[in-house]
Amino acid sequence: MPKQLLKKIRTIPDFPKPGILFYDVTTLFQDGEGLKRAVDQLTERCDRYQPDTIVAIDARGFLLGSAIAYQLDIGVVLARKKGKLPYKTISTEYALEYGTAEIEMHTDAFAETKRAVVVDDLLATGGTATAAIDLVERAGGHVAACAFVIEIAGLGGRGKLGDVPVETLLDVSEG
């Protein structure tokens, strides 16, 4: 099954800068069967952790996280790029393979819920996921696990997430 999903994901060399091999999951999202398989498999893995919310990371994580939350009948908390949320926020800066970025979350995102699974399309160096975990904890929540379609294991991102369990559908082992 994983190889079938991988065939549906376009790879783009030297994007967004030379030396980076970009895994473009939009081609997976365009394929109804592939998207359904990925969402169903991620939902099954997320459900093991009994979350009461999904934290979806901007932007491809929004698509996956929303579909997973819908299937689990729970809500979604958005971890967005800086400046995109309208209410009071907390933010954190993090390193990417190719620079830095900043994400934020509403301060009241965990007023009603506590147990979350963080969802995104790809785990590479772990910067974005680590930032999301930090925001959840600062907002009063607990990250039960993280879930991704793809992991580039050779870049060591999993190791940066501490003791948070990691679920992935594909390991492309570059680095």
Q: Which amino acid is at 174?
A: E
Q: What angle do CA 88, 131, 154 make, to 5 degrees?
A: 160
Query: Dmax of the chain from CA atoms?
Result: 44
* Catalytic residue (choose from 37, 45, 60, 80): 60
The DSSP code sequence of 32-96 is HHHHHHHHHHHHHHHHTT--SEEEEETTHHHHHHHHHHHHHT-EEEEEEETT--SS-EEEEEEEE
Whether 97 is a known active-site residue: answer yes
CB 167 within 8 A of CB 46: yes
Q: Contact at 8 Å (CB) between 27 and 10?
A: yes
Selecting among 37, 45, 93, 97, the annotated active-site residue is: 97
Burial status of residue 135 (CB atoms within 10 A of its CB: 0-12, 13-18, 19 or more): buried
Respond yes or no: is residue 112 known to be catalytic.
no
Q: How many CB atoms lie within 10 A of CB 20?
A: 15
Structure tokens of 47? 């459900």
Q: Which residues are catalytic?
A: 60, 97
